[in-house]
């Protein structure tokens, strides 16, 4: 099962194996082989150009000599072709080498590579293992910017087999979502490589993956990541230690914590901290013994360039009562000892006017903070000034901001984006102490609490928002999510429906609403309403890449009597995620019932069970397909397995009644239909179907 990516990840042991088989020292390079004879290294750069440019040429299968290089082709899986380029060998040896020896060398390589590969693959997930990750990270990094992620996933299944099944499901989904090289470390820990131009893109990917895994019911998805550096730049320690450290910090940040260890190195303990310890020491010397003080941090705008030196000109603009502490990192600090709020405001107005006159309009922003303030220590005040400066960036060049609740909202958002939810929660709560009842802060706090799995506290925040603003769209959506997590489905549905009615009036994307609302409609058996929601979702940008949208569309179209559309939706879902077991089993039922191929349909249903045989819905759909083909006994066994996994599976009980009816077992069938009607978890549609079957018995008796 060799593929080209094996020769990228396992390059070192594969090269070593080739060299051991050669009688003389040589240089070995692996390339992909194209039909026109071109050869590209595995990062995509052309090593040897094609001779004819004819893309329809047949791949060469026998070794050949090219400019004193021996080219050995290998055909791999997935219709991929590899070229092993052996160079820096004595040309005389290459001319004398026998054809028989080269052919035997070629035949033995593939078998040897496959045997080596087994030692670097996790047998359960079929992903590369920890040993492969360590090997790859020890190699020199490519010229492209590549990040390595280590993520911890936490879920709960009642059995060991169920845990293994879920692990395989996560591995398949991770591969589909990242489209890159993935690794399995065991115990729900995975790694993957990501090519991204910036850390902001990498951070965006982390949030995206967490969002997708939360949809699949995972209770924790924590990620630590770092950019891969060249081997010679790495510390002489275990190359994975740095990523484990990042993951450990992410775990402390909450159930969905994220940590970019590079950012921590660059920004010290957090992004709102002075870089120069000596500057903080000077400040401490000046505020020692003061009962109160204010601090102003001046920052020139980035587009101002070096047209002026703020540090050199500060004495000309220093207000009375201000003390110039010093500067660094393009910042200047001015302390106002024993300043009151009024005197500070007057001094800053004077300072701002002087900056405009001296340096030009909009060239200097000023962040101001005072002590005492809430529970902040004196050493926290420079950080508060930096938060105020971040606040300035939202207001435009040359702004002046006095640290307040909005500054804390913005700094909380910054920590939230970094995946540090614990610190974000602290910032939002501090903001609410400065401005009790602020709607934005309460919404932000609620969302952060959700990421920390504190649903009850989050619900209080969203309820407080709705008490002030009953039509607050995001509060309704967020409260709906919390209610759904807490099992309060009717309350959740009410919140989502209220939000949906507001959607036409609000300029928002709506994706955060469509999935949970549609799911609740499916659970209630309101498939027509669910179709309306999902079709609305489909009109939004980016929806064509959402496999879960097409999964649910396929199910809803099936139950709404629209089989052709259901087939197309399931096929689209499987194009995006080939191992989506739900779409596989749904498509299997559709193929059988629409006479598109009985054997293919049943094979799809069984493939879904091979991926997840703990899903009672899969067994129920297999039973439905078997019943349609007249295989009543097999259908009976399948639905019994469904009910072993979930005794109160309403559709399973209804299906059992249908099977008994098909087999002529009237009394057991009636019993099952009556059971469906009495069940708490059944839908109105299922109850109506059961009554219809019972009415059929009455008509027959009449």
Between CA 691 and CA 670 the distance in angstroms is 10
Residue 646 confidence (pLDDT): 92
Residue 67 confidence (pLDDT): 84
What pLDDT digit, counting tens, does each position of 244-258 carry? Answer: 999 999 998 888 999
* b/e burial code for range 5-40 (CB count within 10 A of at least 16 → b): bbbbbbbeebbebbeeeeeeebebbbbbbbeebbbb
What pLDDT digit, counting tens, does each position of 612-636 carry? Answer: 888 999 999 999 999 999 999 999 9
Residue 702 confidence (pLDDT): 52
Q: What's the rounded mean pLDDT across residues 118-125?
A: 92
What pLDDT digit, counting tens, does each position of 195-235 carry? Answer: 888 888 999 999 999 999 988 888 899 999 998 876 555 55
Q: Which two tokens stand for residue 548?
A: 């879960």
What pLDDT digit, counting tens, does each position of 138-157 carry? Answer: 875 566 788 999 999 988 77
Tell me: pLDDT of 607 over 80: yes
C-alpha closest to that of 74 among 43, 49, 108, 40: 108
Q: Give the least confident one: 129-143, 160-174, 528-542.
A: 129-143
CA distances from 419 to 83, 205, 246, 256, 451 (A): 43, 12, 12, 7, 9
Between CA 19 and CA 364 the distance in angstroms is 63
Tell me: pLDDT of 78 over 80: no
Q: What's CA 81's distance to the chain center, in Å?
A: 32
pTM for the predicted model, two decimal places: 0.81
Work out the pLDDT band at 55, boundaries 50, 70, 90.
Answer: very low
Residue 296 half-sphere exposure toward CB, CA atoms < 13 A: 30
State whether the Cα torsion 279-284-286-290 is positive or negative. Answer: positive
Work out the pLDDT band at 305, boundaries 50, 70, 90.
Answer: very low
Place of tokens 């120069």: 276
Work out the pLDDT band at 62, boundaries 50, 70, 90.
Answer: confident
155 or 409, greater pLDDT: 409
Tell me: pLDDT of 184 over 50: yes
Percentage of the chain with pLDDT > 90? 61
Q: What's the rounded mean pLDDT across residues 476-483?
A: 95
Residue 142 confidence (pLDDT): 60
Phi, then psi, of 550 in degrees rounded to 5: -75, -30
**Average pLDDT value over all residues in the chain:** 88
Strands laid side by side in the 323-328 sheet: 323-328, 331-337, 293-300, 364-371, 400-402
The C-alpha angle with vertex 232 and arms to 227 and 238, in degrees rounded to 5, equals 70
- To the nearest 10°, the Cα dihedral for 130, 136, 139, 141? -120
Work out the pLDDT band at 56, boundaries 50, 70, 90.
Answer: very low
Between CA 338 and CA 335 the distance in angstroms is 10
Residue 548 confidence (pLDDT): 93
Between CA 609 and CA 603 the distance in angstroms is 10
Q: What's the rounded mean pLDDT across residues 522-540?
A: 93
Work out the pLDDT band at 54, boundaries 50, 70, 90.
Answer: very low
Q: Which two tokens stand for residue 217?
A: 């019911």
State whether the Cα torsion 430-436-438-444 is positive or negative. Answer: positive
Residue 307 confidence (pLDDT): 37
Determine contact, residues 450/421, Cβ cutoff 8 Å: no
- Contacts (Cβ under 8 Å, ≥6 apart) of 22: 86, 89
Between CA 482 and CA 12 the distance in angstroms is 49
**E strands in 408-488:** none
Tell me: pLDDT of 47 over 80: no
Residue 310 confidence (pLDDT): 67
Residue 306 confidence (pLDDT): 41
What pLDDT digit, counting tens, does each position of 255-290 carry? Answer: 899 999 887 765 544 578 887 778 888 899 999 999
């Amino acid at each position: 099962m060799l593929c080209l990516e094996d020769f990228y990840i396992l390059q070192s042991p594969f090269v070593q194996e080739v060299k051991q088989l050669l009688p003389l020292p040589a240089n070995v390079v692996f390339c992909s082989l194209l039909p026109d004879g071109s050869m590209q290294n595995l990062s995509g750069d052309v090593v040897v150009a094609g001779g004819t440019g004819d893309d329809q040429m047949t791949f060469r299968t026998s070794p050949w000599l090219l400019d004193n290089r021996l080219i050995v082709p290998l055909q791999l899986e997935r219709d991929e072709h590899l070229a092993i380029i052996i160079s820096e060998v004595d040309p005389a040896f290459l001319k004398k080498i026998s054809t028989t020896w080269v052919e035997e060398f070629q035949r033995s390589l593939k078998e040897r590579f496959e045997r080596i590969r087994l030692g670097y693959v996790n047998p359960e997930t079929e992903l590369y293992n920890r040993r492969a990750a360590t090997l790859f990270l020890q190699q020199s990094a490519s010229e492209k910017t590549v990040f390595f992620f280590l993520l911890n996933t936490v879920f709960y299944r009642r059995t060991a087999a169920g845990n293994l099944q879920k692990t395989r499901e996560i591995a398949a989904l991770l591969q589909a979502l990242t489209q890159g090289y993935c690794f399995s470390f065991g115990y729900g820990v995975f790694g993957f490589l990501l090519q991204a131009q910036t850390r902001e893109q990498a951070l965006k990917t982390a949030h995206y993956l967490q969002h997708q895994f939360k949809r699949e019911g995972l209770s924790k998805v924590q990620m630590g990541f770092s950019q891969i550096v060249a081997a010679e730049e790495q510390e002489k320690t275990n190359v994975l230690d740095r990523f484990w450290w990042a993951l450990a910090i992410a775990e402390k940040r909450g159930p969905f914590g994220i940590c970019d260890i590079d950012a921590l190195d660059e920004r010290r303990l957090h992004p709102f901290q002075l870089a120069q310890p000596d500057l903080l020491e000077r400040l401490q010397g000046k505020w020692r013994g003061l009962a109160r003080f204010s601090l102003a941090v001046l920052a020139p705008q980035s587009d101002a360039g070096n047209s002026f030196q703020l540090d050199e000109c500060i004495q000309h603009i220093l207000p009375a009562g201000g003390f110039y502490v010093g500067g660094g990192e393009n910042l200047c600090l001015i302390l106002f000892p024993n300043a009151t709020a009024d005197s500070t405001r007057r001094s800053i107005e004077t300072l701002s006017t002087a900056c405009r006159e001296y340096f030009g309009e909009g060239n200097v922003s000023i962040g101001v903070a005072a002590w005492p303030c809430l529970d902040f220590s004196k050493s926290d005040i420079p950080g508060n000034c930096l938060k105020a400066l971040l606040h300035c960036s939202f207001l435009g060049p040359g702004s002046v901001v006095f640290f307040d609740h909005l500054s804390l909202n913005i700094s909380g958002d910054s920590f939230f984006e970094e995946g540090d939810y614990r610190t974000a929660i602290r910032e939002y709560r501090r903001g609410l102490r400065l401005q009790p009842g602020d709607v934005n802060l309460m919404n932000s706090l609620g969302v952060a609490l959700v990421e920390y799995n504190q649903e009850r506290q989050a619900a209080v925040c969203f309820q407080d928002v709705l008490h002030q603003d009953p039509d607050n769209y995001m509060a309704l959506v967020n409260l709906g999510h919390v209610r759904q997590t807490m099992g309060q489905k009717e309350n959740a549905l009410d919140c989502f429906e209220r939000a949906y009615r507001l959607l036409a009036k609000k300029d928002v994307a709506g994706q955060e609403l469509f999935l949970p609302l549609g799911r609740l409609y499916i659970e209630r058996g309101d498939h027509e309403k669910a179709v309306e929601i999902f079709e609305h979702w489909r009109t939004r940008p980016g929806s064509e890449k959402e496999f879960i949208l097409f999964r649910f569309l396929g199910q809803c179209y099936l139950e709404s009597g629209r089989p052709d559309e259901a087939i197309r939706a399931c096929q689209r879902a499987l194009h995006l995620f080939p191992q989506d077991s739900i779409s596989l089993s749904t498509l299997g039922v559709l193929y059988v019932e629409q006479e598109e191929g009985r054997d293919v349909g049943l094979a799809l249903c069984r493939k879904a069970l091979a991926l997840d045989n703990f899903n009672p819905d899969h067994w129920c759909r297999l039973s439905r397909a078997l019943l349609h083909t007249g295989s009543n006994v097999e259908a009976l066994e399948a639905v019994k397995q469904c009910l072993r996994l979930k005794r109160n599976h309403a559709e399973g009980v209804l299906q059992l009644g249908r099977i008994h009816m098909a087999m002529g077992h009237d009394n057991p069938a009636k019993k099952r239909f009556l059971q469906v009607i009495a069940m708490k978890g059944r839908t109105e549609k299922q109850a109506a179907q059961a009554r219809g079957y019972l009415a059929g018995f009455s008509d027959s008796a009449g």
